[in-house]
Amino acid sequence: MNLFKLKNKKGEKLISKAAATILSMTLIAQTFAVGAVNEKVINSFNAVSTGQAIINNLKYTDIAGLDNNSKNSIFQNGALGIYITPGSKKFNPKGYISKEMALYLIYTAANRVREIDEQGQALNSERTVKKTNPQDVLFDGSLQLAANDGLISETELADAMQTNQKTLGASDFKRSAPVQRQEFATWIAKALMIPPEPQQQELLNNFSDWKSCKPENVPYLEAVLRAKIMNGNGSGKFLPAGLVTRQQAAAILKNAEDVILPLRSLEQRNATVQGIQSGKDNSNGSTTAYTTITIRNSDGLLDEITVSKSNRKPVSNTNELTGSVSASYNSELPVFKNGKITSSTDLKTGDRIQYIAGTEDQIVRYVRVLAKNEVTPEEVEKGLYAGIVEENNPQLGYITLYNEDGTGKTPLALSKLKTYNYADPNDIKVYKSHEEAQLDDIEAGDTVFIRVDSNNLVTSVSSVANYTVRYGKIISKKLSSIIVEFDKKQQKAYNIDRANVIKDGKLVKYSQIKDGDTVKLLINEAPNLTVLKEIMVEGGDKLVSNVYKGTFDNYNSISNTIYLNDPWTFRNGKWIKETNGSKVIELGNGFTAYFDGQKKSLKDLTLLKDNTVYIASEKDYGNDELAAVASFTDSTEKEVPYDDMVYITGTNRFVLEKNLVNVTYNPGTIVVKDGRLVQGSSVSTDDYVYVMANRDNSGSNSTIVAGVVSIEQRPGTEAVQLYRGRISSIDEYKTVTLESYSKLNGTNWDYANTPMTFSLSSNTRITDTDGIVGQGNFTAENTQDTFKGRTVYILSDGTDAVEISTAPFGNFNIQGTVNSTAGGTLAEDGSVVQEPQSILLKNCRYYNTSAHLWVTMGDSNFNILKNSLILRNNKKINPSDLKKGDSLRILKKDNAVTGDAYIIIVE
Amino acid sequence: MAAPGTAYALRGDSGYEGGISSGENPNVTVTSTTSKISYQYQEPFFLKGAPIVLTGTMTIKKALKTDSKTGVQTLTTTYDYNVPNANNNSLVRNIVMTTTITPRANGQKTETTKLTSASETLKLNGTSYFISKSNPNDYMISKAITNDYQPAVSYFAGTLIGKKTYHVGTSNSADIIVVDSTCNTVGYDEYWSTAETQTIKQTITSRKAGQSSIVLGNANIDISTTTTKQLKYYENQPEQISFEGGYYKTQYNENVLKYTANLKELDKSGAPTSKTVTYTKSLKLESFPFNDPLVAPNLKKIKGHPAEESMAIMFGLEAYKDIDSFNPQEYMSRGEFIDAFTKIAPEVPLDPVFKPKTTKTTSSSRKKTPVVLLFKDVPEKNKYFLSINDAANRGMVSTGGNFRPDAKITLAEAVTIIINSLGLKGLAPNPSPVTSFKDNDKIPGYARAPMYVAEKIGLIQEDSKGYIYPTAKITKANASRIMKAYIDYMNSGIREEYMERIISYK
């Protein structure tokens, strides 16, 4: 076959050239063919003998513009002989169907042509003036049968049979008048014996005009709607008194095929064309050409359809007398492919087809080639619907979905949506994200799959949420809502309701959220409501790193950096000189600059050279920092520092309690609260604040404008719980008991002559002069290194021992400010290689216990021992955590300016 | 030879040992089938009770073999790590991995990686740890990756499991420390940026000869290795110059590592205590930026237009041409849009090692390849033939039938092409999303999912009344805004998704 085709197409030369290849290809093809032939053919079908005539009749000239579904309805009904327009090339799709035509169509569909013919003939034979048009006779028969069956009343029949139809009134049954939609629906239900549905559900829920239906029709309309034979007009109306076009009638009959086909001993089958073979049969003297179409049916078995053509052409000069006509038998398949009616010659291997064949005669009447991605309803389970939830109302027992194509949002078109009723809300299987759930868990915006039973009631629901992730920064946290700012500076408020809050991978309370937190929000952004589901707080990688003050030199647009002269660092309400060098800071993504409270573009910064600028930087990965905001001031302004508590807050201002000054802020004010950059409105009553303000004398009243506001947890607000005593016993890993103890109380050790027991936990750290001691070695047993009888410090949290140290007793209190540390080394990445060994303090004084006075002493340099305890907020920190400017209290054995520091408390 | 300034998809730039490198430097010349590049390198170790970060160099060498019949590729990657001794810490490590890359019928490629050989000599605070080549059981790795190729982005994801057994003190010591690690890796490659993230979980166990083993702690390490190309504007200082200023692409790598380690504190003799201390730290390595200028035509004509910046970038990237005949308010044709869009959404650049070998063209192979007509109405002589065919071949637009190159493009069509190029249609809910736009119902069926996704990733925004006008034609000014938003997404938005959002939200 291959050889033959090639020869015809390209000529012999090509064949000789590619002979080898083609030969092998042919061999493969043959082997394959043999394989297929060997398989048993289960069903043998034949094409319909009138096939070609049907095709010719269906070549309508006026339906080219219709969609493929409409064309298919027209062709299928035509091919089945239900809906034909003999002798006309026009289908007239927009024409209305008359009542008599409607009845005739419905009865034809119900396979009762013989009966209507009999009835029609009987009526005609009684007539004196016989009707000559066979169609009229059939219409008469249809009307009579309809009356017999109760589709129409006897009165209506009488009206219909009246010879002069013009005398009929408007309310009479005029046979040629267009049929109404509710009549058509009722007749179909009755003629096809679809049982009426007394309970209205489809009609009530989906169509706003159900009241205008005739009450006696309603159960039938419901039945037709449930069987999906008819539907509304697409905008929530059934239009009971509306008319039916010929195109609509074809679609309705097509929709009823599940009922109609069995009545006509037909069935619809699906298959894929496996191969097409041609053959010839000369046995009868004449030649008959066969085309056998091998198809793979939906059970995976092999069927075939045979199309046969007698080779002998009809000879016009033969008649019964001149010679016996050879029984020329031509069959053909009406094939609907790519929007056109055609024949079997257009079928190709691989085509997926849907065809209608007789269950008894095995004759194929109609073939439709499926579109590339089309799935036939037979290949899909019925009763399962998918969509996005518009509303779920378990209390009232229904769920409403947007349309499967995502439409249904047009205002006032809600009736377009699909509503399903719950069978029994307590007995519905519900899954959310593949786990068993309650009906209440199904939310608007979810994707759902709904399974309905034969009564169209929901029996199970499976859903997944379609939450949206958004990233932003908390601008303001209220009692039950948050305002979040997103990337492009848009702000949005969300109710907290039942939203989970997650911080450091743990579920925490809403109160843990702070103004200025960067957050990841999980939001159910359903089309008509928004619900915040979860707030995840960023882990702290982007907290405020430093606030600097300096003299602005320049902004470099290529390196995106600011060069700052004479930089100072803000710490504990003071400006600290950390470096003699200048500072270069890279700008972060959201960097903004302000001058006198007004936003300034980067380009304009050159004009502010030598102005004083405050810059807040945020941490970046790898010990880096990026400038987040810069606030330029007028160089003439004088800076005033405050260390105070907020007494009251107002619009763009707050009042300080001790100083009783009114401090105003503007968008350029750098406000740091709990390590986060926040807006001025986040300053609240009773906040401890450090303020760097500038007096603005420009107006009539001098106002104080805050440049930097810092609200932070003050060290020392939590009491240090430090005990000292002699160990009397140790229950390893469990408890340690002191035979008596002293507790640090301010500058004094309060002695109590009673034993005290502390619990040990895996987190208790024990340090002696050489370093850390494992709890296994923290023993009172009679060993060389026993702790029994040794005097230790115990830092506790309640009665839990947190740190135990063997450092010597110090009863001299010395205060001072960290100037520097010494002996420590840092690696290239900023990590600590060696902890500092000593600490240099300035502004020192010691407490004279007898005089109850603090006495000034010289700058001091103290050693830090391995078992020295350095405490901040009642927690041990490392020597490298001490920063220049930190205010310390030190316990020592004397008041010398050198020596060992046993206990160092950051105040 | 690699053209300078091209961000290659250099997967594995940070290795798979739980460290980061500075990554590719665009100025380095690499040959087409083997490449050997030395990077700055940092890696944290958790064997000594507290994390120790070593800083040194890593050298990567890659060689590729392709089976011409099956298309299966075998990539051999050699990693050499070197940290010279400082503060009693040092590292010498050599790893050879073999990756088999198999093309699959759906267009994806799957990769499996095995270790060919490994050796390591590590010194931490004076203690030596050894993995020797002679004992292959001391280091085992199994890595599986799936690659998915979309028109303008390639995505990949996979897992890695590994087990390292260090011999403490001497190379055959019976005192060992075992590091078990699992790693999820996910990332993407595209023209404007690339990212590879690794989420590593390590468990560290010690066993002294003749004793039972003890778990020393665990560490979670998040690594994000990224490259990006940002567009920056420069303004010329003197007024008397033929063009006012222009844009350049600045490309650099930004590689971040963050670890959280929960480690048993060691006592003064080096034995673990019951106390667990949590350490958190991040490291960052960046490459030196590489700048590449864009063309800078005189754009006086559009000065002051609300979309001036976006249009200037389009001209800079040569997506828009011929300023003289340009009218920002002109509706854009489908052909014009595709031509512009393919300029800003070029093909995913390949790692040079995967580039086909270029053999010298001989006279016989210089024959013109036959022209394939993908659309009936786009003949070869069409002005946008190459761009339209390129877009169709890469799957941004579907082929067959007509393209209608002269028809004016609608917002829905443009958005569909853009989202197709990202392969992100699947982010929309099933079966078909309902968007938040008031005119949701006007969105054509094919564009519903793309419009939904485009809104979520910030490419389009409803107007103040909530409408998006999906079927409206778009002007060249508006098209430039959308394409600018696309570039912003491609160089920052998507990268953020694979960096900050993985590292800082746990």
- Give the pLDDT band (50/70/90) at residue A301: confident
CATH number of the domain enclosing A485: 2.40.50.140
Q: Residues 68..127 of B with a Cβ closer than 8 Å to A: which?
A: 87
Its pTM stands at 0.77
Least Cα separation, residue A283 to chain B (angstroms)? 47
Contacts of A271 (CB under 8 A, 6+ apart): A295, A296, A297, A298, A303, A352, A353, A355
What's the structural domain count of chain A?
7
Of B271, B431, B500, the CB nearest to A774: B271
B321 and B416 belong to one structural domain: yes
Looking at the partner chain, which of A402, A765, A833 has a beta carbon nearest the beta carbon of B434?
Answer: A402
Residue B67 C-alpha, separation from nearest chain A C-alpha, in angstroms: 24
CB < 8 Å to B281, chain A = 831
Instruction: CATH number of the domain at A774, please.
Output: 2.40.50.320
Query: Which range (A517-521, A585-589, B350-354) has the least confidence?
Result: B350-354
Q: Are residues B410 and B323 in the same domain?
A: yes
* Option in B235, B266, B282 nearest A621 (CB): B282
The DSSP output letter for A527 is T
Q: Can you tell me the mean pLDDT for B35-39?
A: 70
Write out the H or E segment, with its range, that includes residue A336: strand A335-337
A589-599 per-residue burial string, b: 16 or more CB within 10 A, e: under 16: eebbbbbbeee
Residue A50 belongs to some domain of the structure: no
> Residue B44 is part of which domain span?
20-229+252-291
> Which of A202-216, A343-357, A700-714 shows the lowest mean pLDDT across its residues?
A202-216
What gap in Å lies between CA B55 and CA B285, rounded to an integer?
A: 11
More confident residue, A831 or B152: B152
- Contact across the interface for A622 and B285, Cβ inside 8 Å: yes
Specify the pLDDT at position A2.
42
Two tokens, residue A745: 């109380």
Contacts of A831 in chain B (CB under 8 A): 51, 53, 281
Closest CA to B263 of B251, B273, B277, B244: B277
Q: Does B267 touch chain A (CB under 8 A)?
A: yes
Residue A902 and residue A818 share a domain? yes
Do A615 and A653 reside in the same domain of the chain? no
pLDDT at A319 over 70: no
| A827/B433 Cβ within 8 A | no
State whether B285 and B302 are in the same domain: no
Least confident range of A407-416, A441-450, A537-546, B120-129:
A407-416
- CA-CA distance, B157 to B198, in Å (whole number)? 10
The interaxial angle of helices A68-79 and A51-58, nearest 10 deg, is 140
Say if residue A755 is preceded by a cis peptide, omega within 30 of 0: no
Which A residues, 223 through 242, put their C-beta within 8 Å of a C-beta on chain B? none
Please say if the pLDDT value at position A828 is more than 90: no
What CATH number is given to the structural domain containing A682?
A: 2.40.50
For B506, the closest chain A residue by CA position comes to A505
Interface pTM, i.e. ipTM: 0.86
Which domain, by its residues, includes A412? 381-464
A507 touches chain B (CB under 8 A): no
CB within 8 Å: A622 and B232? no
Is A198 part of any domain? no
* Residue A527 pLDDT class (50, 70, 90 cuts): confident
Question: Quick one: A831 and A898 in the same domain?
Answer: yes
pLDDT at B1 over 80: no
| B28 band by pLDDT with thresholds 50, 70 and 90 | low
Do B264 and B130 lie in one domain? The reply is: yes
In this complex, how many residue pairs, one in chain A and one in chain B, have their CB atoms less than 8 Å apart? 138
> Is pLDDT above 80 for A10?
no
Q: Is residue A891 part of a domain?
A: yes
Q: Could A831 and B53 be called an inter-chain contact, meaning their C-beta atoms sit closer than 8 Å?
A: yes
Burial of B132 (0-12, 13-18, 19+ CB in 10 A): middle
> In 3-state terms, chain B is what percent helix, strand and coil (to 5)?
20, 40, 40
Mean pLDDT within A219-227: 87
User: Where does the pLDDT of residue B32 fall: very low under 50, low under 70, confident under 90, or very high at 90 and above?
Assistant: very low
Tokens of A359: 């269950």
The whole-angstrom separation of Cα A206 and Cα A417 is 8
pLDDT digits 0-9 by tens, A860-907: 999 999 999 999 888 889 999 998 888 999 999 998 999 999 999 988
Using the Cβ of A488 and the Cβ atoms of chain B, whether some distance falls under 8 Å is answered with yes
In whole angstroms, give the CA distance from residue B485 to residue A689: 41
8 Å CB contact of A405 and B445: yes
Same-domain status, A449 and A488: no
Q: Of B467, B384, B441, B453, which Cα lies nearest the Cα of B417?
A: B453
For B:272-301, CB contacts with A below 8 A are: 272-276, 281-285
Interface of B with A in 205-244 (CB under 8 A): 232, 234-235
Contacts of A406 in chain B (CB under 8 A): 431-435, 440, 443, 445, 448
Domain assignment present for residue B503? The answer is: no
Residues 6+ apart with CB under 8 A from A677: A516, A544, A616, A618, A628, A629, A670, A671
DSSP designation for B410 = B
The number of distinct structural domains making up chain B is: 2
- What's the rounded Cα separation, in Å, for the pair A429 and A752? 68
Calpha distance B389→B392 (Å, rounded):
5
The SS3 call for residue B42 is strand
Q: Report CA A703 to chain centroid distance, whole Å.
A: 51
Decide if B463 touches A, using CB distance below 8 A.
Answer: no
Those residues whose C-beta lies under 8 Å from the C-beta of residue A151, and which sit 6 or more positions away, are A103, A186, A187, A190, A191
Which residues neighbour A147 within 8 Å (Cβ) at sequence distance 6 or greater? Answer: A153, A154, A156, A157
The CA distances from residue A248 to A88, A174, A189, A251, in Å, are 19, 21, 16, 5
Average pLDDT estimate for A93-113: 92
For residue A621, give how far its alpha carbon lies from the nearest alpha carbon of chain B (Å): 5
The verdict on residue A875 lying in a domain is yes
CA–CA min distance A848, chain B (Å): 38
Contacts of A409 in chain B (CB under 8 A): 434-435, 437-438, 440-441
Per-residue tokens: A554: 């320049």
Does residue B262 lie in a domain region?
A: yes
What pLDDT, on the 0 to 100 scale, is given for residue B288? 85
Q: How far is B79 from chain A (nearest CA, A)?
A: 23
Average pLDDT over residues A180-184: 93
Contacts of B265 in chain A (CB under 8 A): 765, 772
Among candidate residues B186, B129, B192, the one with its CA nearest the CA of residue B483: B192
Show residues of chain B in contact with A768, CB under 8 Å: 268
Q: Would you say residue B117 lies in a domain?
A: yes
Beta carbons of A541 and B503 less than 8 Å apart: yes
Q: Residue with structure tokens 């930004």?
A: B254
Q: Chain B contact for A538, CB < 8 A?
A: yes
- The verdict on A493 and A478 lying in the same domain is yes
Contacts of A87 (CB under 8 A, 6+ apart): none
Q: Are residues B81 and B225 in the same domain?
A: yes
Q: Give the tokens for residue B58.
A: 């890593």
Q: Is residue B151 part of a domain?
A: yes
Whether A797 and A860 share a structural domain: no
Percent of chain B with pLDDT over 70: 93
Alpha-carbon distance of A74 to A341, in angstroms, equals: 10
Co-location of B450 and B327 in the same domain: yes
Residues 12-31 of B with CB under 8 A from A: none
CB A615 within 8 Å of CB A629: yes
Tokens of A429: 């299987």
Residue B298 has pLDDT above 90, yes or no: no
* A460/A472 same-domain check: no
Residue among B62, B85, B86 nearest B74 (CA): B62
Same domain, A602 and A649: no
Beta-strand pair A457-464/A418-422: parallel
Q: Tell me, yes or no, whether B180 and B325 share the same domain.
A: no
Q: Calculate how close chain B gets to A468, using CA atoms only, in Å.
A: 8
Residues 388-427 of B with CB under 8 A from A: none
Is the CB of A387 inside 8 Å of chain B's CB atoms?
Answer: yes
**Could you tell me which of B290, B292, B326, B335 has the C-alpha nearest to residue B308?**
B326
Average pLDDT over residues A611-633: 92
Say if residue B217 is in the same domain as residue B145. Answer: yes
The dihedrals phi and psi of A306, each to the nearest 5 degrees, come to -110, 130
- Mean pLDDT, range A124-145, rounded to an integer: 89
pLDDT digits (tens, 9 = 90+) for B140-180: 999 999 999 999 999 999 999 999 999 999 999 999 999 99
Q: Has residue A266 been placed in a domain?
A: no
- What length is written for chain B? 506
Tell me the residues of chain A between 434 and 453 that have a Cβ less than 8 Å away from chain B.
445, 447
Report the chain B residue with the minimal C-alpha distance to residue A866.
B268
Count CB atoms within 10 A of the CB of residue A734.
Answer: 11
**Domain limit, last residue, from A537, A564, A589:** A537
Q: Are residues A644 and A672 in the same domain?
A: yes
A406, B445: Cβ pair inside 8 Å?
A: yes
B458 touches chain A (CB under 8 A): yes
> Of A633, A662, A687, at which residue does a domain stop?
A633
- Of A412, A429, A464, the last residue of a domain is A464
pLDDT exceeds cutoff 70 at A9? no
Answer whether B283 sits within 8 Å of A622, measured CB to CB.
Answer: yes
